[in-house]
Structure 1
Amino acid sequence: MREIYIVEFPSNLGLKEPHPGKEPGVKRLPDWFQRHNLHKILDPENTLRLDPPKYNNTKDSETQILNANSLIEYAREQAYLVNNLLTRNKFPFILGGDCSILLGSAIALKQKGNYALFYLDGHTDFMDISLSETGGVGGMAASIVTGNGHEKLTNILNLSPYIKEENLWCVGNREYDDEYENEIRNSSATYISLKDLREKGISNCTTAFLSEVENKNLDGFWLHIDVDVLNDTIMPCVDSRTPDGLTYDEFNELTSYLFQSKKLCGLEITILDPDLDTTGKYTKDFVDNITHTFNLSQKNQF
C-alpha cells in the first residue's frame, strides 16, 4: 500500500462571491474536515498545505475568467507539489477548495504520463466560457483540463491538454438541460448522467471505466469528487444545489470500486462549504462514509 498524504488546497478562486463582498466559504473545507476527524481517521503519513493567492472576484479582461492570473500561479505551485508526491509513489488525498484545484493536479499528471480522469460531480463542469454566467473556473474545470477554452489556462507550461478528452469520464450530472449537456455530448469524453448511471448500473459503469484504463494501457487515473454529486437532502451545503443525487449507499458502492483499483493514483474532494453547515452534521456524515469506504477499500485493494 502506498503512503497517503493529505494535501490541503483551500482555494475558492474558481467561484463567484455568494454575496457582494463575501468570499465563498469553501476555502475552509480542509480545516472543517480536520475538525470532524477526517485526518485522524485516515492517519496519513503527512499533511501538506498550499495556500492560494488572494481572492478578488475580478474577471480577467483577456479571458473573462475570475481570478485567472491567480489560478495560473496557484496551478503551477500545486502541480509541483503533486508531481513530487507522485514521483515518490505517494498517494495524494487532496482536500479543496472548489473544482478549480483540478488544474494543478491535471498538470502534474500530464508531466508524469498519460492518465484518465473520473469526474464524479452533480454537474458536468464541461462548459465553454460563453455559457458561463459567472466566469468561474469551478464550472468549467473538466473542459479546461481537456484542452477546451483560452490557452492562457488550457496550455499552462505548454502542456495542453493535461488530460486527453477521450480519457475523461464525466459521471453523475443531474442538470438536465440540452444546451448544457450538449457541450459534453458533442465531445469525445464519456458522459454518464445520474439517470444513465442508475439505468446501466454502478458496477457495470465502473467496470467499463477500469477496463478502459487497462485496455488503453494508461499510467493510471485520477478521481475528482465534488460532494454535490450527493443527494441534496444529505449534502445541501454546496454552492449550486440541484434536486436528487446519489444516496450514500450508491456513492459508497461507486467509490469503493475505484478506491480498490491500483490504477488510482490520487483523488480530490471539493465544494463542501462550512459556512452552509454550521452544525457540522452533513460534514460528519460525509467524513464517516468516505473514510470508512476508503480505508476498507485499501485493505481489499486488487
Structure 2
Amino acid sequence: MITVVSAPTNLGLRPPERGSVPGTSKAPEALREAGLFDRLTAAGARDGGVVVPGRYVDDDSTRARGHVRNEAQLVDHARRLADRIERVWRSGRAPLVIGGDCSILVGAGIASARRGRSGLVHMDGHTDFRHPGNSDDCASVAGEDLAAAVGLHGPAIADVDGLSPYFAASAVAHLGHRADDEHADEARGVLGCVLSAADLLSRGVESVAAEIGRTAGTGYWLQVDVDVLDPAVMPAVDSPDPGGIDATQLTQLLATLAPFAAGASLTVFDPDLDPDGSCARLLTDVIHEGLSTLGTAVEL
C-alpha cells in the first residue's frame, strides 16, 4: 500500500522573476484541495505528513561561484526527505512523494543509496542533465537532478554523505525529453536507456515498459516530472515545451510501471499557473489512476 509524503520544495528552481518565488511549493496542497489525498486514502493509502523545506532565497547576487541556488537548504531537505522515505519503507509501504520541484530526486536518491541502490526511471520533458562538465550555468538543481543522481554534479549535491552515485547510470532509464534537448546525446552515452517524447508517442506502452525493465530491473524509483506532458494539456509548469505526451498516454505508462516501483515522486506542477484548478484536477486523475498500484509487485 501507499504512504503519501508531501515535499513542498521550490529550492531547486530559478525565480520566475527577480525577487519572486516559484509556486511549486504549493503543489501538494493544491492537489489535496483537488481531492487527491482523499481519493488515495479511500483506497487504503496513508498520509505520511510533510517534509518542510527551508526558506527559498533569490541568492543570485550573493551566491559564491561553484554553488547552486539554496544549496544548504536543499541538501538539508534532501536528507530529511530520505529519512522519511526510509521510514515508509520500514513500515512495509511504498512512498509516493508529492513535490515540489524535481530536486527532490536527490532525497530519493540518498534513500535509495542507503538502502543498497536500485534502478531509476526518470520521466521528464527535459533530460535534466546539465552539470559542471557541460555548462557554466549550473545553479538550479531542478534542471540538473538527473546528472546529480548519477554522480556528475558537484559533490555538495551529487555526493551527500559519500553516497555517490545514488543510482548506477547503467540502471537509469530516462523518458520524455523533446527533440531539441541540448544534453540528450550525452545522456544517451551515459545512461542505460534514453527515449524521447517522440519515441514514447511512436511505440506501444508494452514495448517501452519492456525496455525499461531490461534497464532498471524492478524495485526502481519512479520520478515523474509533469512537464513530460504536452503544454496543451499541462501548461502549469515552469518550462513548457511542445511535443509532449498526453494525459491518457502518461496514465497508461504509469499504470504499467507503478507495480514494479519501490517508490515514486511527482514534481514541478505550479499552482500559480493553474488559476482555475483544472490542471490540478487532471493530475489528480492521472496520479490516482496511474499510481494506485505503486509497489504492489515488489518486496518493500
Q: Does residue 132 of structure 2 align to residue 166 of structure 1? A: no
Instruction: Confirm or deny: 8 A CA contact 1:26 1:96 kept in the other structure.
Output: yes
**Residues 30-45 of structure 1: matches in 2 within 5 Å?**
30-43=28-41, 44-45=45-46
How far did 1:250 drift? 1.1
Q: Does residue 27 of structure 2 align to residue 26 of structure 1? A: no
SS in 2 for 1:206: helix
Q: Does residue 66 of structure 2 align to residue 63 of structure 1? A: yes
Change (3 A) 1:174 1:255: same
Distance of 1:18 and 1:294 partners within structure 2:
30
How far did 1:172 drift? 0.6
Match of 1:248 in 2: 247
How far did 1:131 drift? 2.6
Q: Deviations over 1:253-295 (max 9, x none)?
A: 111111233xx11101100100000110111112123212333
Instruction: Confirm or deny: 8 A CA contact 2:12 2:69 kept in the other structure.
Output: yes
Alignment counterpart, residue 151 of structure 1, candidates 146, 152, 155: 155
Distance of 2:138 and 2:272 partners within structure 1:
20
Match of 2:50 in 1: 49
Distance of 1:182 and 1:82 partners within structure 2:
32
Identity %: 29
Normalising by structure 1, we get a TM-score of 0.91
Change (3 A) 1:156 1:62: farther
Q: Deviations over 1:138-191 (max 9, x none)?
A: 0000110110021111111111111111111110101524x4222312313311
Q: Report the number of matched residues.
A: 292
**Residues 126-275 of structure 1: matches in 2 within 5 Å?**
126-129=129-132, 130-131=134-135, 133=137, 135-177=139-181, 179-214=182-217, 220-261=219-260, 264-275=261-272
RMSD: 2.0
How far did 1:47 drift? 3.0
In structure 2, the gaps of 5 or more residues are none
How far did 1:132 drift? 6.2
Paired residue type of 1:136: S
Dislocated runs of 4+, deviation >3 Å: 211-214, 297-302
Distance of 2:297 and 2:72 partners within structure 1:
40
Instruction: Confirm or deny: 8 A CA contact 1:123 1:175 kept in the other structure.
Output: no
Match of 1:102 in 2: 105
SS in 1 for 2:242: coil
Paired residue type of 1:45: R
Q: Does residue 281 of structure 2 align to residue 278 of structure 1? A: no
Normalising by structure 2, we get a TM-score of 0.91
Instruction: Confirm or deny: 8 A CA contact 2:131 2:138 kept in the other structure.
Output: no
Distance of 1:132 and 1:191 partners within structure 2:
24
Distance of 1:213 and 1:127 partners within structure 2:
22
Q: Deviations over 1:198-225 (max 9, x none)?
A: 33432111122224444xxx6x101101
Match of 1:113 in 2: 116
Change (3 A) 1:212 1:167: closer
Instruction: Confirm or deny: 8 A CA contact 2:200 2:245 kept in the other structure.
Output: no
Which range moves more in the overlay, 137-146 or 82-91? 82-91
Paired residue type of 2:148: I
